[in-house]
A and B are shown apart, each in its own frame.
Chain A
């Protein structure tokens, strides 16, 4: 029997053989399940209703203690996953299509189109990112929608640059010339021929982009521009600013820990994906 040996399957096999990558994939999976459950309100308890004494220490009933209003910190952590993941997903849905399309068009057509795209992204990178993030979320008003747009619009440049450089290289290769000789149009060449060859960059970018999104959400929420009236890890950290000096450490530790494990898992997965998917690294 002949086993298929497609590059995608090969990469997946490599990824699963890497125990560390597999473990981080599992961690991410657990977070995803929690985020989906909290988004659909399937969690067995509600963070707003599960009340105890104000600032209770971690105990058997409240595993991670309670906050000022007596709400369960553990429940807030679980609900916070929803905000973090929605920022990651929605910002990616904004940034990746913009970045990939502009990058592919600029790299493929060259000329004034390329110059225009390069001008746009150089302009955007020239504005200090945190100021751009702050300005955008301020201009758009406080709240989650503003964060989605701000994070999405400030983060498409990296993938655009990457795709542009890659498409520049690919359009000179023989397979593109062959496709053109067979009469394929520009759109077909970009989508059917070049795109599959640069697709792995989008997957790698996606895992790293999530880190940026989660961190940005925390910083914006911390600065008071973020989510309102919903638990988020950034807000929990912002609350902890005053709590810590009074010896109330559990809320900050819990939020930091929740962010730490997902970011760590994404970091490791990003590296593993690069090793598995980038054919140039093959020895």
Chain B
């Protein structure tokens, strides 16, 4: 087991290197000269030279890449082009807000999806199952943008249940701004999740142990909730754990639309202002979180199923 853990952790290093390379190529090689965006149209040649030198853009690509790797390893990014704040603080603030947006609806929708999927699997092929599957497919087919726009229009504008958009950092007030995005998040994600979990439960229901359980006289209820559920727990855990890092990123579209100052909104603003240091930092943070999530879910998997680590 120890060697497996070490191997998995070592495996993350080349991936991290790859991500650094991709972001470097995107923003330094293809992305054009950031000095132009920084200084605007009326920059003099001397100013441009000086700034290039200050950021190290006049050095060979390889050296720039090494410097960039150094920044990543020490997690020391430059300041934002736009706000001149340190990026570390911007990321920390943004991540807190994003977690507030993402965590509650994520767990509610996972729970609802699992319950609905079990219901569908229990009544497979019958009316309840058909209904759940049809609703999921219909729900999956509506554009995310439509959910956001119509949700805001009907629930906030017409019915006046929620504020139209905005955010408040004080604790209880914060919730009033978040409920509508939460509802929309759940509606957006539930269709695909129900179908995913339903497939898992159906696969388990085809296993031999289910027939054995039925044969020895266990009630259908017991078979589903005790036997099948415990075996399906493994894929469920993997699915949930892999998603967790993304919760830090919140939802780019929801945040941008409702004006919630999370990481997603930060990224969109940085894109619109060509604030490359921020874009790079958010992209890298997302990648690191993804790699971590994968690592943790692999380790959990190995813990639950010792055969994996062999």
What is the CB-to-nearest-CB distance from B227 to chain A, in angstroms, rounded to a whole number?
22
Could you mark each residue 138-152 of chain A with 1 if its beta carbon is under 8 Å from any beta carbon of chain B, else 0?
Answer: 111000000000000
The answer to whether B283 touches A127 (Cβ under 8 A) is yes
Q: Which of A119-138 contact B (CB under 8 A)?
A: 119-120, 122-128, 130-132, 134-136, 138
What is the CB-to-nearest-CB distance from B262 to chain A, in angstroms, rounded to a whole number?
13
In the assembly, what is the distance between CA of A130 and CA of B153, in Å?
A: 25
A122 nearest in chain B by CB position? B15
A contact face: mostly helix, strand, loop, or mixed:
helix
Q: A244 on the interface (CB 8 Å rule)? A: yes
The answer to whether B143 touches A131 (Cβ under 8 A) is no
The answer to whether A128 touches B146 (Cβ under 8 A) is no
Q: Which one of A119, A222, A259 lies within 8 Å of B18 (CB-CB)?
A: A119
Residues of B within 8 A of A260 (CB): 141-143, 146
In the assembly, what is the distance between CA of A241 and CA of B26, in Å?
A: 31
In the assembly, what is the distance between CA of A203 and CA of B271, in Å?
A: 35
The answer to whether B267 touches A134 (Cβ under 8 A) is yes
The answer to whether B141 touches A264 (Cβ under 8 A) is yes
Chain A interface, number of residues (Cβ within 8 angstroms): 41
Q: A240 on the interface (CB 8 Å rule)? A: yes
The answer to whether A264 touches B252 (Cβ under 8 A) is no
In the assembly, what is the distance between CA of A43 and CA of B165, in Å?
A: 41
B contact face: mostly helix, strand, loop, or mixed:
helix
Q: A252 on the interface (CB 8 Å rule)? A: yes
Q: Which of B25-50 contact A (CB under 8 A)?
A: 26-27, 30-32
Q: Which one of A138, A241, A264 lies within 8 Å of B149 (CB-CB)?
A: A241
Q: A187 on the interface (CB 8 Å rule)? A: no
Residues of B within 8 A of A122 (CB): 15, 18
In the assembly, what is the distance between CA of A197 and CA of B21, in Å?
A: 36
The answer to whether A264 touches B137 (Cβ under 8 A) is yes
Q: B66 on the interface (CB 8 Å rule)? A: no
Q: A219 on the interface (CB 8 Å rule)? A: yes
In the assembly, what is the distance between CA of A147 and CA of B110, in Å?
A: 32
B25 nearest in chain A by CB position? A139
The answer to whether B249 touches A218 (Cβ under 8 A) is no
The answer to whether B146 touches A256 (Cβ under 8 A) is yes
What is the CB-to-nearest-CB distance from B9 to chain A, in angstroms, rounded to a whole number?
15
Q: A223 on the interface (CB 8 Å rule)? A: yes
Q: A127-B23, A131-B283 are in contact. Are A237 and B145 (CB under 8 A)?
A: yes
What is the CB-to-nearest-CB distance from B269 to chain A, in angstroms, rounded to a whole number?
11
Q: B279 on the interface (CB 8 Å rule)? A: yes
Q: 19 extra interchain contacts, Cβ-Cβ under 8 A, other than A139-B32, A245-B164, A264-B138?
A: A119-B15, A122-B15, A123-B22, A126-B291, A127-B283, A128-B246, A135-B283, A139-B26, A215-B143, A222-B253, A237-B146, A237-B149, A240-B149, A244-B152, A245-B157, A252-B149, A256-B143, A263-B141, A267-B141
Seen from chain A, the residues whose Cβ lies within 8 Å of a Cβ on chain B are 119-120, 122-128, 130-132, 134-136, 138-140, 215, 218-219, 222-224, 234, 237-238, 240-241, 244-245, 249, 252, 256, 259-260, 263-264, 267-268, 271
Q: Can you give 8 contacting A-B residue pairs, CB < 8 Å?
A: A119-B14, A124-B22, A126-B18, A134-B268, A222-B145, A237-B146, A241-B257, A264-B138
